[in-house]
Structure formats: C-alpha cells, structure tokens
Amino acid sequence: MGRAGALQGLKVVDLTRVLAGPLCTQILADHGAEVTKVEPPAGDETRRLGPPYTASQQAAYYSALNRGKQSISLDLSTPDGQQVLHGLLAHADVLVENFVPGTLERWGLGYEDVLAARYPRLVLCSISGFGADGPLGGLPGYDAVLQAACGIMSINGSAGDGATKVGIPVVDHLTGYVALSGILMALQARARDGLGQRVEATLYDTAISLLLPHGANWLCSGEVPAPLGSAHPNIVPYDKFRAADGELFIGILNDAQFGRFCCAIGVPGLAADPRFVDNAQRLGHRAALYAAIEAAICTQPAQAWADTLMAVGVPAAAVNSVAAALNHPHTVHRQMLVQRGDYTGIRSPVRLMGTPAVPGAAPPDLDQDRAAILARSWQGQAMENARVAGLAQAPAPGLAIRMQEGNTITQH
C-alpha cells in the first residue's frame, strides 16, 4: 500500500480568493491537506470570471485553482461568521488569507492581538499586494499592477511596442509558491519548538525578486535595461528565429553548444568567425549573427530543426500554442492533466515519489459543504468556542444546520 500524502492530517483554513492564495492551498490539498475554503456570501470573484464556464457553470479560471477543497460561505464581518471561523481554527494548523492588510484586525481577528494567543500552534500566512506598511503599505494590488510598478513590463515586449504585460499572471503564480514555501518552513519550525508564526508573502517582493538578471545587470553597470523581445540581455543566441513554417526558439549557453549548433544547421564556419568566437563577441555582433542563422534555417520547419538540434544537445523548441503544449505527448507522459469526471485541470508541478500527490475532487460549488464543515468545526471544542449564534452548548451529533437570510446559523 502506498504511503499517505505528505501533508495528510494537515488542516488548512483558506480565506483567499483569486489566484496566489487559492493556488497555494490547492497544492496543499493535492498533497493531502484538508482544506476548508471560506468564501464571502458572493463567493470567490473568479467563479464569475468567464466565459468559458465548466459543466458545473463555474468559470474555468476558478476551476483551475480550487480542486480538492470544501466550501462554506461566511460573512466574517459578523459575530456569527467569526464564531464559525473560530470553530474551524480550534483544529486548524494553517490559516491563509489575502485580505487588504488591516482587515482581520478591524474584525477583531488580528494575529498579534488575538489569534497567536488563542491558537499558539497556528501558522497564519498573509498574502497581499504591498504588505501592511511602508510607502505603498495597505494598498490593493493585482498581478499586472505589480508587473508595471516593479519594472517587469518595462523589460518585456519589443522596443517598438512599449511596456508589455507578461502573458500569464507570473507574479501571482510565483507568490503562491512563495506562500507555500513559507508555510512549509513555518510548519518545520513548529515541529521543532511547538509554536506557530505569521508568514508574509507580497506580490511586490515577489515581483522585485523576478528582476533577474536585469536587476543585477543594472546594479553592476548602471545601465537601465530595455525590452529585447524574446532575446536575452546576457546570452547570444538565446532567442526565437523564423523557420520555414513558424518560429523556433534556440537557447545556447556556451561555446561548445554554439559549435554543435553551427554544424547542425550547415554553417560550421560561423563558430570560427572572429565575431562569434565567444559569448561576448556574439553579444557585440548580435544582428549579424541573427541574419546568418535565419538564412540557414529558413528552409525547414521549426519542429524539424528542434528535433535535429535537441538530438545534438542544443536546447531548442518550436514555439507552440497552448493547445499544442497541452496536447503534446510529453504532457500526457508527465501526467500533467488531472481528470475527475467532467473536470479537467493542470497538475501541480511538485512531485514527491514516496508520497505522491493525489489531486482531489472537482472544485466545489459555493457553500456546498456547509453542513459537513459546521459539524466538523464543533467536534472536541471547549464550550466557549462551540457557541454559534447564541447556542449555549455544543450541538448533539447529527444536528441539522441551515443558513438563514442575513448569514445567521440556526438549528432546526
């Protein structure tokens, strides 16, 4: 029998919406954590960011980030919603939130003021745009806003196009992994000393950290980086080129690869040309080298060249569409797509061989697991944490729960 998921038994309360937080908690769920997604009455905004929509009428955007979770809707600004949250936190290991900084404190749920003392083993991960303080502290932030503010747009695209957003929400994605890493490190520290702590992940810090090598180049040279299209500021040739039927990306890091590349495309003399003998010379004569390469590869399809070059150890790939990438035989071989009935999603790239991830059920409908979550949140609590909407004692097993107008919990 296989071992349980690496995070089996870990209990996570997920207060996050949109991308970075839900991505983090979905990975935790894939690896065995029990994730309770607490949504506001209107639900996670991504539920409505369509079309396209899935068979269950959820936006595809939402379905990509919330599998393996259970959902309950609570208004955390109300005493009733907070009572239920405290019931969940009584048994939780991790709380993840991405409210505007100060929101939990305004609701009387601040970590330093309340949660740390009440739940000393709890790891709280806060995800925000800019953090709580400083010149931009507390301001709202989305991926593209941070790409603009932190210089990423300025180095993306071509010189004639102006600043260009990266085509995927790269800052959000990486922030999700930053949060995941911080949570796992905090849990390791808790295993040593028994204490939880607050973990912070901000889109701003993540975006600044992405400025590699451009930031290092500027710190060293003082020259402000400019957009280079698909080219690399430090390496040539490391760019896309036009083949007979489409574009081919070639990534060459050293002189030995360059020599093999020149032989493979039928112009071995290029490697001995004084203008191209090493990377520094190639950087200085980029335009001449590009013209020679495109003249040599324009007669064959991009995929044929990619096969030829990869066979001799030169990294290269045809520039594929999203559809071509997801349909690629290697995507199938790597089991990158998760299928659960009508649901299809993309697997987390984190692979553990001894305790492999087992992606969970399709993303939940809003509030679909209310009864199960409420029943679970009351088990084993002290009386003061078991009161919900005026209940004087923990309810008996099997008590039916319903949500009335105004987000009030009552028994019947």
Residues 6+ apart with CB under 8 A from 255: 271, 277, 278, 279
Residue 228 domain flag: no
pTM: 0.88
> Do 57 and 161 reside in the same domain of the chain?
yes
Containing structural domain, residue 267: 238-326
> Do 121 and 53 reside in the same domain of the chain?
yes
Q: DSSP assignment of 158-225, as one string?
A: -TTT-S---SS-HHHHHHHHHHHHHHHHHHHHHHHHS---EEEEEHHHHHHHT-TTHHHHHHHH-PPP
Q: What is the mean pLDDT of each successive set of 10 residues along the chain, which is 412 residues long?
A: 84 98 98 97 95 91 96 96 96 97 96 97 98 95 96 93 94 98 98 98 98 96 94 96 97 97 97 97 97 97 98 97 96 95 92 93 95 77 42 33 28 26
CATH code where residue 246 lies: 3.30.1540.10
Residue 391 domain flag: yes
Of 326, 353, 374, the one marking the end of a domain is 326
Residue 217 domain flag: no
Residue 219 domain flag: no
Residue 310 domain flag: yes
Residue 302's H or E segment, with its range, is helix 302-311
> Do 163 and 62 reside in the same domain of the chain?
yes
CA distances to 10, 68, 77, 98, 327 from 184, in Å: 11, 19, 29, 18, 33
Whether 29 contacts 364, CB under 8 Å = no
Beta bridge partners of 242: 247
Residue 318 domain flag: yes
Structural domain count of the chain: 2
Residue 216 domain flag: no
> Do 256 and 285 reside in the same domain of the chain?
yes
> Do 310 and 383 reside in the same domain of the chain?
no
> What pLDDT, on the 0 to 100 scale, is given for residue 389?
43
Of 308, 326, 344, the one marking the end of a domain is 326
Nearest to 47 by CA among 367, 359, 406: 367
> Do 243 and 199 reside in the same domain of the chain?
no
CA–CA gap between residue 37 and residue 41 (Å, rounded): 12
Residues 6+ apart with CB under 8 A from 181: none
> Do 317 and 353 reside in the same domain of the chain?
no
> What pLDDT, on the 0 to 100 scale, is given for residue 392?
33
Q: Which residues are catalytic?
A: 232
Residue 218 domain flag: no
CATH code where residue 171 lies: 3.40.50.10540
> Do 66 and 95 reside in the same domain of the chain?
yes
Residue 290's H or E segment, with its range, is helix 286-297
> Do 139 and 275 reside in the same domain of the chain?
no
> Do 137 and 52 reside in the same domain of the chain?
yes
> Do 120 and 262 reside in the same domain of the chain?
no
> Do 198 and 115 reside in the same domain of the chain?
yes
Of 296, 326, 356, the one marking the end of a domain is 326
